[in-house]
Amino acid sequence: MTPETETALRESIKYWEAIADGTKGASVDNCALCKRFRAEPACQTSHEACPVTIATGKSYCLETPFIKFWRFSSIREGAPGVWAVTPKAKDAAREHMEFFKSLLPSGEEWV
């Protein structure tokens, strides 16, 4: 994992903490990993793939806890993204955050 991708992963973990807390809505426009990889075909550049794609073999956070989050989340009037307003959505957002933490390079911890 390049240093730039690790930085994006750590920013995404912080972002999902805020989503789980209900203080931000989820949007590909605000996720650092999405910003880094989503515009590229199948979530990879010519020399590097998104850590999510590497872990799951799928693009766009398919087969991650994000799918459960999406099912339980809500759109809030006048607020961009989808929000964790129910306990199930908040739990799913936390699961997705923990999944992202599991993608940190071996030996690295979340601080």
Domain boundaries, the chain: 3-102
* Residue 84 DSSP label: -
Stated pTM of the model: 0.86
Separation CA 43–CA 22 (nearest Å)? 27
Q: Are 90 and 20 in contact (CB under 8 A)?
A: yes
Q: What is the pLDDT along the chain (111 residues), one digit of tens a residue?
A: 899 999 999 999 999 999 999 899 888 888 999 888 876 676 766 678 899 999 998 888 888 999 999 888 877 666 667 888 889 999 999 999 999 999 998 766 666
Tokens representing 93 are 């957002």
The pair of structure tokens assigned to 38 is: 């989503």
Tokens matching residue 18:
């805020």
> What residues are paired with 79 via a beta bridge?
76
